[in-house]
Structures are given as C-alpha cells and as structure tokens.
Structure 1
Amino acid sequence: MAIFGDALEEVNRVGVSCIITLQNLFPGCDELFHAITELGNSAHSFSLLVPLAAALDLQLSCDLLVVCLVGEWLNILMKWTFMEGRPYWWVKETDIYETYGITAPVIQQTSHTCETGAGSPSGHCMHAAVVGFVLAKWIIAKYESRSRFPRPNAPYYRRFIWSVYAVILLLIGLSRMYIAAHFPHQCVLGAAIGIPLAWALTSENSSLCRWWKNSGRAHLMFAASAIATLSCAAYWLQRALGVDPQWSVKLAFKWCQSHRNLHVSTTNVFALVRVCGSAFGFAIACPYSKRLVNKRLSIPFGMLLALLLNVAVRSVQKSIPTANVYTFYSAHFFLHAGLPLLVLLYFPKPNTNNPERSASSLSSSSDANRRASPRETRAKYD
C-alpha cells in the first residue's frame, strides 16, 4: 500500500505540472473552459436533456436517464472507495515537494474549481462518456434508418460521429484539468469506465440492457430500493470504519479561495439523493414497454414543454429551504422522483419501429380486410 501511495503521489505531481502548463498555455480562458466543463454536468441531463430527448424519441430519453443515474451512482461509490484528492487541495496537503526540496507550485483557481467530492474517477468525464455514447448511437441509427438500402457513405458518417464524440470527451477532460478539479488520470479513468458502462446499459446484445427494458414496475422498484440501500450502507460503512464520508467537503472548505464557489450540489450525498429519487420515479412510471405506445406530442411542443419544465425545476430548487438538512434532501428527492414521472407520462410518442406493435397493427389490418366485402375493400383504396 505504501508503494502504491508513493506511486500515486508521483502521478499526481506530474498531473499538477500538466495542469499548470495548460493554464499557462491558455491564460484568461476561464469562461471558455467553464462552458466546456458544463457539457459534462449531470444536473443538466436530469432536468433538461432527458425531457428534450423525450420530445424526439422516448426510447432515447429512457436510455439517457438510465445511463445518467447508474453512471452517477457508480461514480460516487468509486469516489468513496478510491478516496483520491483534487489538485487544488492536494497540492496544499502533500509533502512530496518537500521531499524533492522544492516549493509547492501555485495552481490558479476559478469559480468552478471548488467541487466538494473526491477526485477519482472524474464524474464529468464519466457522465459525458455515457451520455455522448448514447447520443452518438442514436444519431447514427437515425441516419442509417432513413433508407432501406445501405448507404455508401455510412461508414464515413459513423467515423465522423465517433470522432466528434472523442473530441468532446477530450475537451471536457482538458477543461476539468484547466480548472484544477481533476488530475489527468482521473479524467481518463472516468471516460474509460463510462464507455463500456453505456454499452452495457443500452446495447441490445447486453443482458443488462434487456433486463431493465423488459422489467416491470416491481423489479425496477426492487432495483431502485437496492440502489438506495447500498448507498446508505456505503455511507455508514465508512462511518463504522472511522472514515468521515464528508472528508473531501472539509478539505474543499479549507483550501477553496472563495467559499462562495462552494455548492451543496457538488457533494456526494446530494448526488445520491438525486440518483435515488430519479431511480424511484423511473420505476414507478414503468413498465417501459407501455410508455412507447402512449399519446403523441408534436416535437416543437414537446421541446417547449421540456424547457418550461427545466425553468420550473430551477425555480423550485431555489425555493427549497436550506436551514434543515432533512427537509432540504427530502424535497430534492421528491423533486427528482417527479421528473421521470412527468417525462414518461406526458412526453411519450408511439414507437413506430416497435416490431411487436407493427406486427399487431398489420395483423389487425389483415383481419379487417378479410372481414370486409370486396366492394368495401375497393372503396377503401379508391
């Protein structure tokens, strides 16, 4: 363990050098990197991206919701397991620079630097990896489904989409380094975990994907309860082992240059509340298959509804009192449980590509034609 700890310290030291080099290469580019890093913010996916996707394709929306909540849940558990620091406080706490007989370098902090969770793996990179994977697959599938015949330029189109996906992941990783929220290896680890996780949750060749898509309300409620139970168990296990689950929050308060930049939404506990609420809301709104044949909303109206829902969610979040921690977390739990319910109950469009539905429609049509008289049949198609 001592050897591993020393090796990690050396990796972090090299990572700090990379961060300082990046900050020196792009001086005064805080706002640009802030905008890029927001692409990996999971809060936007829960309140905006999932409803917007529902206006286009309900299956896409469900895929995004599942990868978001499972990805964030696993990310938090891994952060509690690895217990790695963030650059902006690690550089103040480590003694590796004294070992080398040099002064610890100064890292520039921005308004987005002071996140309060542990550092590894990067939640933004992991979230961007799962969401980007789902979106890239959907865009490619939509393009290829427009024609019954293979398109000669389809391979080039697929390469282009996956290249854009890779570039966005790279930019988000660089933005996390620039604001000193993550070391390079933490960004790489987040992306490396997110990609296979997204495949496992959304690929029809994956048994995990087939399980949640074919499960009823009871099974998904059990899964949501398991997520909540394991989350609480992980929290109290740390307490039992003498580890403060909020150790990273204390370091953030200690070394953040401006406490105004500290937000409760970046804590692990808040993220777990959001995940558990979303999981229960999704489970209550299922079974998944019934939502694919619900009433249709026009795409523009659905998108307008999604934007209004996002504004309403933000307004409710601002009005939640923070004086009592139990009231605060309970309100956010029910808020995020209500979001999937609203999206799945009122946004759905029929899935015209559903083979079972298409087959039943064809069967009904054939039966009707067989029952109709020849004169009625001619009148129908004239």
Structure 2
Amino acid sequence: MESTLGAGIVIAEALQYQLAWLENVWLWVTFLGDPKILFLFYFPAAYYASRRVGIAVLWISLITEWLNLIFKWFLFGDRPFWWVHESGYYSQAPAQVATRARSRWVRVMPSLAYCTFLLAVGLSRIFILAHFPHQVLAGLITGAVLGWLMTPRVPVERELSFYGLTALALMLGSSLIYWTLFTLGLDLSWSISLAFKWCERPEWIHMDSRPFASLSRDSGAALGLGIALHSPCYAQVRRAQLGNGQKIACLVLAMGLLGPLDWLGHPPQISLFYIFNFLKYTLWPCLVLALVPWAVHMFSAQEAPPIHSS
C-alpha cells in the first residue's frame, strides 16, 4: 500500500510541475465534479430533462456518497474516493443522441465529451492532492458497476415509509460502524484535529469536512425525496405534463432558490450543523420535484389566455 501511495504522490507532483499553468482550469473542473454541485445543478437539470434519470441521479448519489464515507474509514484513511455517480445514467443521454444521429461523428461526440469530462475531473482531483490516482480509478470502476446494477432498479414508486427507513438506515448504519471503529481505538477524525492544530487560519477548515457532513446531506435528501414524491404538489404537476419552456423556467427558478439555500450560514456547534444540514437537504428534493414545478405550472395556467369556443 505504501508503494501505491508513493507512486500516487509522484504522479501528483508531475501534474503540478508540468501543468502548473492550468491551475485555474483544474480548480474550476474539480468544482464541477464536487458532490454538492450534483445536488445544486446536475440533479435538477437531469430531473427536468427526464423524471426517471433525475431521480436515478439522486439515488446513485446517496448510495455512492454513503459508500464513500464507509470505504474511506476502512480502506483509505481520510482520503475519499471520487465517485463517478453519474456514469450509469448520464451515459444514457449520449446513447439516445447516438441512436438518432446519422453522422458517425455526431454519434461519437457526446460520448467523447462525456469521457473527457470524467478524465478531467479525475486529473483535477489528483492535481489538487484531494485524491490518489488509485482512488480515482477505484471510484470510476465502482461508479460504473453500481450504475449498471441500478439502471433497471431505480426506486420511484415506493411508500413514504421506504424513504424514511432508507434515511434511517443510512444514519444508523454509518453511526454503528463509526462508533465500533472508535471503540476499537481508531480515531477517524485525526486529520481534522491536526488541521486545527497546524492550520494558520482555522476558519479555512469547513464544516463539510466533518465525518457525518455528507451523511446528514444524503439521509436528508433520501427523506426529502419521499416527501416530494408523495406531496399533493407533485401529484398535480405530474398529471399536468410540463412543456419544454416550463421545464426551463423550473430549472432557472430552482437554481435561483437552491443557490442561496446552499450558501446559508450554519450553526458553529457541530451537532446543530448536522441537524441544519439534514433539514436543508430534506427541503432540496421538495423544491426540485414538487414546489418549483407546481409554482411554474400555476403561474403558466394563470397567464394562459382563455380559449373561446366558436
């Protein structure tokens, strides 16, 4: 394992020395690959393009982030995978374009652009020393396999209790593993303690780096998905079948609401932060699936001119 880590450091140093002039590009690319951007942009964009794909993107995010949390405790210390959670579903979009296009280059370009994006995000994570190369590769393979397995099994039409139990299982399962390892003498927050000790500016240490930050996000989103799918607003909008213009309006409005929600401050106490994060991401799917489409639908209905019969 030490040799693998050493080789990863050599590769990261080579990238930093040889491609230092691309630093701003790498930072921007790694921002686009951040899990929070998936919730902020990829999830609503996918959902308004295709209901099933959007819900699938959210599900694959919940599962892979949970696995990320667990596997980094067992296998990789404090270095998480970069999970390619979109791979099993966003690859459907290039496939659909390919089947409808006659030109070979038109058929190839979407898949080529998609693979280029995955490669760029992986290299950017190595460049900024967020992950080792073997972690990027492991995340790519695991994400592809998980996407392939889940494609025909996306939970959509389930009882509300199913989503509540999923959120509870995510929390209890990881908590049990965490406290078991802690009892065995493994300090899973060792890097945070060192960061507070040696970092020149402790305010640079974000709450999101805490062990259960992603867990509170994922469990909240799982519960919020169930609440949204069983809400009266969702039922009304689903029967209405929004048009393309309405879907674009939904995306714009959702981004306008989710952006400020994401930048909201948080309590300084860690326990209150977890509760706040859970509630915030419980609201997230409710906005995207139910409240925003319902508001756009109601506004469009009011603006539509009356139809006069002859």
Range of TM-score over shorter length:
0.7 to 0.9
Structure 1 residue 187 displacement after superposition: 1.0
Structure 1 residue 255 displacement after superposition: 5.8
2:93 to 122, 129, 138: 138
Name the residue aligned to 1:70.
63
2: CA distance, partners of 1:34 / 1:231: 30
1: CA distance, partners of 2:282 / 2:93: 26
Name the residue aligned to 1:198.
147
CA deviation vs aligned residue, 1:275-328 (integer Å, no higher than 9, x gap):
010011112233699689333334344334434433433434444342332322
Report the 3-state secondary structure (helix = DSSP H, G, I; strand = E; otherwise coil) of the residue aligned with 1:322: coil
Shift in CA distance, 304/286, structure 1 to aligned 2, threshold 3 Å:
closer
* Alignment of structure 1 residues 159-170 onto 2, 5 Å: 159-170=108-119
Name the residue aligned to 1:112.
none
Q: Partner amino acid for 1:221?
A: G
Name the residue aligned to 1:335.
280
Identity %: 25
Shift in CA distance, 257/194, structure 1 to aligned 2, threshold 3 Å:
farther
Structure 1 residue 168 displacement after superposition: 1.6
**Aligned 8 A contact 1:216 1:286 in 2:** no
2: CA distance, partners of 1:228 / 1:161: 37
Q: Partner amino acid for 1:30?
A: E
Correspondence 1:233 to 2:176: yes
1:176 to 120, 125, 132: 125
Report the 3-state secondary structure (helix = DSSP H, G, I; strand = E; otherwise coil) of the residue aligned with 2:239: coil
Correspondence 1:10 to 2:3: yes
Name the residue aligned to 2:306.
none
1: CA distance, partners of 2:244 / 2:265: 32
**Aligned 8 A contact 2:164 2:223 in 1:** yes
Report the 3-state secondary structure (helix = DSSP H, G, I; strand = E; otherwise coil) of the residue aligned with 2:20: coil
Name the residue aligned to 1:270.
213
Correspondence 1:186 to 2:186: no
2: CA distance, partners of 1:138 / 1:309: 22
Shift in CA distance, 56/72, structure 1 to aligned 2, threshold 3 Å:
same
**TM superposition score normalised by structure 2:** 0.82
Shift in CA distance, 241/76, structure 1 to aligned 2, threshold 3 Å:
same
Instruction: Tell me the C-alpha RMSD between the 2 structures.
Output: 2.9
Correspondence 1:285 to 2:234: no
Structure 1 residue 34 displacement after superposition: 0.4
Structure 1 residue 340 displacement after superposition: 0.9
Higher RCO, 1 vs 2 (CA within 8 Å, ≥6 residues apart): 1
CA deviation vs aligned residue, 1:196-225 (integer Å, no higher than 9, x gap):
1112222x2xxxx15x23433233332222
Q: Partner amino acid for 2:15?
A: L
- Unaligned runs of 5+ residues in structure 1 are 1-7, 85-117, 350-382
Report the 3-state secondary structure (helix = DSSP H, G, I; strand = E; otherwise coil) of the residue aligned with 1:174: helix
**Aligned 8 A contact 1:36 1:171 in 2:** yes
CA deviation vs aligned residue, 1:13-51 (integer Å, no higher than 9, x gap):
121111111111112422110011112111011122222
2: CA distance, partners of 1:337 / 1:130: 20
CA deviation vs aligned residue, 1:237-262 (integer Å, no higher than 9, x gap):
22222222312322444565654543
Name the residue aligned to 1:41.
34
Name the residue aligned to 1:380.
none
1:23 to 12, 16, 28: 16
1: CA distance, partners of 2:149 / 2:53: 15
1: CA distance, partners of 2:199 / 2:149: 38
Q: Partner amino acid for 1:237?
A: T
**Aligned 8 A contact 2:65 2:214 in 1:** yes
- Unaligned runs of 5+ residues in structure 2 are 295-310
**Aligned 8 A contact 1:48 1:307 in 2:** no
Correspondence 1:119 to 2:79: yes
2: CA distance, partners of 1:329 / 1:246: 16
**Aligned 8 A contact 1:58 1:348 in 2:** no
Name the residue aligned to 1:96.
none
**Aligned 8 A contact 1:221 1:280 in 2:** yes
Correspondence 1:312 to 2:257: yes
Shift in CA distance, 299/185, structure 1 to aligned 2, threshold 3 Å:
same
Structure 1 residue 65 displacement after superposition: 0.9
Number of residue-to-residue matches in the alignment: 292
